[in-house]
Amino acid sequence: NAGVTQTPKFRVLKTGQSMTLLCAQDMNHEYMYWYRQDPGMGLRLIHYSVGEGTTAKGEVPDGYNVSRLKKQNFLLGLESAAPSQTSVYFCASTYPGGSYEQYFGPGTRLTVT
């Protein structure tokens, strides 16, 4: 049982390049989330999904797109990377109701130059 995994762990992009971050969970969770974490800012929600085929915007969605084609996977895309998107990206998942505990992946460290 791997929990929540993220690929890649690290990435350096040039301004204007695109990339996709992959999040996978094997806990059969309905809800999945993408956050970014910047120094002193806490975790901020980018997009989230309450089930396969559904996505919604969070607090800071601009410049990002997401897809949830399979229940276990949640993809985060950057179409044209900008230096402001340099951050650590965390994926999380949980099940509806319950204790609201979210289970996090190990993070992806992205640098945009």
| CA 83/CA 51 separation, integer angstroms | 31
Pick the stretch among 14-22, 65-73, 77-85, 93-101 that binds another protein (CB under 8 A): 93-101
| CA 53/CA 89 separation, integer angstroms | 22
- Closest to another protein by CB, 26 or 79: 26
Pick the stretch among 20-28, 41-49, 64-72, 77-85 that binds another protein (CB under 8 A): 41-49
Asked if 97 is part of the footprint of another protein (rule: CB under 8 A), the reply reads yes
Asked if 50 is part of the footprint of another protein (rule: CB under 8 A), the reply reads yes
Q: Say if residue 8 is preceded by a cis peptide, omega within 30 of 0.
A: yes
Query: Which residues partner with 92 through β-bridges?
Result: 33, 104
| CA 45/CA 83 separation, integer angstroms | 19
Residue ranges binding another protein (CB under 8 A): 31, 35, 40-45, 48, 50, 90, 94, 96-97, 99-102, 104-107
